[in-house]
């Protein structure tokens, strides 16, 4: 059995830690080549101590110095690197077979793209890589012979529910629709009027999943589902009108594929990200993930409902950005990141997140996407406009 050499980008986040949990269960299959984090050097140190990677990368310079000193004191022979260029290095090194791309937000785009251009097996947990630069990213995968496996539980479920030998033509595969399930987050059933008073702590208290703060807020606004609609478009070559969002509060069915003969194939499981991670790590084999078996008798019922557009305006904003194409999805994502950060810092009311995004989309002329520079330019412009709108909103409060 060949041992896979793996780089984990975003090792100290929830996806990164779940990935390392699965890897630790299969020491004969996987070897950790490199780990990265933003500034959580203490957690990264513990991971280095356990997995003995060749490299550890931190974006924060002070954190990198602290990690280097601690590793030297402990006699651990891991080389510490710092900065974005180092992320691209560990994602594209010749000795790396597989890259887990789990850095949250636009910061994860360049290293994930570097892995694709190096022809790696890319386990994509970073939505923004496809949301911002879907055409460029998918072209890189094709041109350089990379393998792209989705980690989001919804896209992983769709991947499992499609024919393995499909050629990317949904019509030829007999697919009528892709059904993206969503829990509805923590505010699915509270009175809409109460949304004006919700706090970051409430927004981050997801009823089913353990996630980071940013993605938890995206779940509360359901922007995460909007971003997943855009991601599904690129991953599965799916026209926008063939992707439907379905609220499923139990988070047991992770997504479904409806076929023209009336069949609907779904992937079910407990809400634990180690399932899609293990599926992608072992693909095309299935390997032990550590996830407990699904008890259907305990689940007892499965409910479904349509999203309420008044409660979740971010979904339609994402559909509109996908239909507009070009730089619109990058603008959408950038404005969302700024608005969510402002909400988490108590600088913006919850319901104003969608307003900031809508204003930014309307304020920036949209253009075609042919180069990464165009994507990054749109991202920068959108961040500036969104930040100005946040300041404006504070002044009117």
For 358-387, the pLDDT digits (tens) are 999 999 999 999 999 999 999 999 999 999
Average pLDDT over residues 158-169: 88
What token pair was written down for 377? 């330019």
pLDDT at residue 210, as a whole number = 64
pLDDT in tens, 229-264: 999 999 999 999 999 999 999 999 999 999 999 999
Give the C-alpha separation, 209 to 104, whole Å: 16
Give the C-alpha separation, 55 to 214, whole Å: 27
Least confident of 57-61, 106-110, 163-167, 219-223: 163-167
Q: Is 115 left (phi over 0), alpha (psi -120 to 50) or beta?
A: alpha
Spatial contact of 226 and 318, defined as CB atoms under 8 Å apart:
yes
CATH top class, domain 325-397: mainly alpha
Give the C-alpha separation, 64 to 371, whole Å: 32
pLDDT at residue 381, as a whole number = 96
What token pair was written down for 130? 């496809």
Task: Give the number of other Cβ atoms within 10 Å of residue 210's Cβ.
Answer: 12
Residue 56 has pLDDT above 70, yes or no: yes
pLDDT in tens, 214-233: 888 999 999 999 999 999 99
Higher pLDDT, 160 or 396: 160
Residue 105 has pLDDT above 80, yes or no: no
Give the C-alpha separation, 87 to 111, whole Å: 6
pLDDT at residue 52, as a whole number = 97
Average pLDDT over residues 194-202: 89
Residue 209 has pLDDT above 70, yes or no: no
Q: Distances in Å between the alpha carbon of 360 and those of 134, 214, 292, 357?
A: 20, 19, 43, 5
- DSSP designation for 96: -
CATH topology of domain 4-150: Rossmann fold (3.40.50)
Model pTM score:
0.92
At 234 the three-state DSSP class reads helix
Q: Do domains 4-150 and 325-397 have the same CATH topology?
A: no
Share of the chain above pLDDT 90, in %: 86
pLDDT at residue 124, as a whole number = 97
pLDDT level of residue 157 (50, 70, 90 thresholds):
very high
DSSP symbols for 179-228: EEEE--GGGSSS-GGGGGG--HHHHT--SS----HHHHHHHHHTHHHHHH
Write down the domain spans for the chain: 4-150, 153-271+293-310, 325-397
Q: What residues pair up with 265 in beta bridges, in sequence order?
A: 257
Task: Give the number of other Cβ atoms within 10 Å of residue 269's Cβ.
Answer: 22
- DSSP designation for 308: P
Give the C-alpha separation, 311 to 309, whole Å: 6
Give the C-alpha separation, 311 to 303, whole Å: 19
pLDDT at residue 165, as a whole number = 80
pLDDT level of residue 346 (50, 70, 90 thresholds):
very high
Average pLDDT over residues 73-88: 96
- Which residue, among 180, 113, 103, has the nearest Cα to 148 in the 3D structure? 113
Task: Give the number of other Cβ atoms within 10 Å of residue 38's Cβ.
Answer: 17
Q: Is 312 left (phi over 0), alpha (psi -120 to 50) or beta?
A: beta
What token pair was written down for 230? 């855009």
pLDDT level of residue 317 (50, 70, 90 thresholds):
very high
pLDDT level of residue 204 (50, 70, 90 thresholds):
confident
pLDDT at residue 397, as a whole number = 57
Residue 180 has pLDDT above 70, yes or no: yes
- Which residue, among 377, 387, 376, has the nearest Cα to 348 in the 3D structure? 387
φ/ψ of 81, rounded to 5, equals -120, 160
Average pLDDT over residues 55-61: 96
Calculate ∠ Cα 271-87-110, nearest 5°.
80
């Amino acid at each position: 059995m060949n041992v896979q050499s793996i780089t984990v980008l975003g090792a100290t986040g929830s996806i990164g830690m779940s990935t390392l949990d699965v890897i630790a269960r299969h020491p004969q299959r996987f070897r950790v080549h490199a780990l990265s984090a933003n500034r959580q050097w203490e957690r990264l140190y513990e991971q280095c101590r356990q997995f003995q990677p060749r490299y550890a990368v931190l974006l924060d310079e002070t954190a990198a110095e602290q990690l280097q000193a601690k590793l030297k004191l402990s006699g651990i022979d891991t080389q510490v690197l710092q900065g974005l260029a180092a992320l691209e290095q560990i994602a594209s090194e010749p000795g790396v077979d597989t890259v887990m791309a789990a850095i949250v937000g636009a910061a994860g785009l360049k290293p994930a793209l570097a892995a694709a251009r190096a022809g790696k097996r890319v386990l994509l947990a970073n939505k923004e890589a496809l949301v911002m630069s879907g055409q460029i990213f998918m072209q890189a995968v094709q041109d350089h012979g990379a393998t792209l496996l989705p980690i989001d539980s919804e896209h992983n479920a769709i991947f499992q529910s499609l024919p393995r030998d499909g050629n990317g033509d949904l019509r030829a595969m007999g697919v009528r629709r892709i059904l993206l399930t969503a829990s509805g987050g923590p505010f699915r059933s509270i009175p809409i009027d109460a949304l004006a008073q919700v706090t970051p702590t409430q927004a981050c208290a997801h009823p089913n999943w353990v996630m980071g703060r940013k993605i938890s807020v995206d779940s509360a606004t359901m922007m995460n589902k909007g971003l997943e609609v855009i991601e599904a478009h690129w991953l599965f070559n799916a026209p926008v009108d063939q992707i439907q969002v379905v609220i499923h509060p139990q988070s047991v069915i992770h997504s479904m594929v409806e076929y023209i003969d009336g069949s609907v194939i779904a992937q079910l499981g407990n809400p634990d990200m180690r399932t899609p991670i293990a599926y992608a790590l072992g693909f095309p084999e299935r390997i032990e993930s550590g996830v407990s078996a699904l008890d259907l008798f305990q689940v007892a019922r499965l409910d479904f409902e349509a999203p309420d557009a008044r409660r979740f305006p971010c979904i339609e904003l994402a559909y509109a950005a996908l239909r507009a194409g070009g730089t619109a999805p990058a603008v959408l994502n950038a404005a969302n990141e700024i608005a969510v950060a402002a909400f988490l810092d108590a600088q913006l009311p919850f319901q104003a997140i969608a307003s900031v995004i809508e204003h930014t989309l309307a304020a920036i002329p949209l253009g075609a996407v042919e180069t990464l520079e165009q994507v990054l330019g749109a991202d920068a412009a959108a961040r500036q406009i969104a930040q100005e709108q946040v300041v404006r909103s504070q002044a009117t409060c």
